[in-house]
Structure 1
Amino acid sequence: MADTIPASEFTRNFGRYRMLVQREAVAVSIHGSIAGYFVAPDEYEEFRRFKQRRRSFATAELSDERVRAIVSSRVPAR
């Protein structure tokens, strides 16, 4: 990834960073701290899908059928 880009530079030269982001993510900073990352649409969609797959849930949300399936699929202890 390239160096961090100040937000003022990012806004003045958005077109340049729009092209750069096709190759790598761009870190944007405000007053020396990273405010966020500018990424290509396909990278964002990949991240979104990854995050969605990692969804956690409470066991109380499981249906009785799913609980039975989990219990019946347990590997016996050795």
Structure 2
Amino acid sequence: MSITAPASEVQKNFGAYHDRALVEPVRVTRYGRETVYIISADAYRSLKQAQRQAIASADLSDDEVKLIEDAEIPAEHRYSLDDLAE
């Protein structure tokens, strides 16, 4: 869960929102539009670590390889080489 606060309020009470961000993300809006989130350093590191994780194909189980082989592209996301010429 996250809380939402306008940027002007965050600017006035940064310390309080800083402390709140240690527990949960703070969604900051400007003119009613979401612009940034304030998150803890631990949450940021966790997100970056998850983004960096890669798995070698040799590390996949036979079941995982089979799932990938059997996967199909949804019709609305398919294209042919003819589509590229357009």
TM bucket, shorter chain: 0.5 to 0.7
Unpaired runs of at least 5, structure 2: 66-86
CA distance in 2, matches of 1:48, 1:13: 28
Unaligned ranges ≥5, structure 1: 55-65
- TM-score, with normalisation over the residues of structure 2? 0.60
Displacement of 1:45: 0.3
Write out per-residue CA displacement over residues 14-59 of structure 1, whole angstroms, 9 at most, x where no aligned residue: 00011111111000000111001100000000001111115xxxxx
Q: Which residue in the other structure is 2:10 paired with?
A: 10
Runs of at least 4 residues of structure 1 off by over 4 A?
none
Aligned residues: 62
Within the alignment, does 1:35 sit opposite 2:47 as a pair? no
Change (3 A) 1:25 1:3: closer
Deviation at 1:3, TM superposition (A): 3.6
Identity of matched residues, %:
31
TM-score by length of 1: 0.65
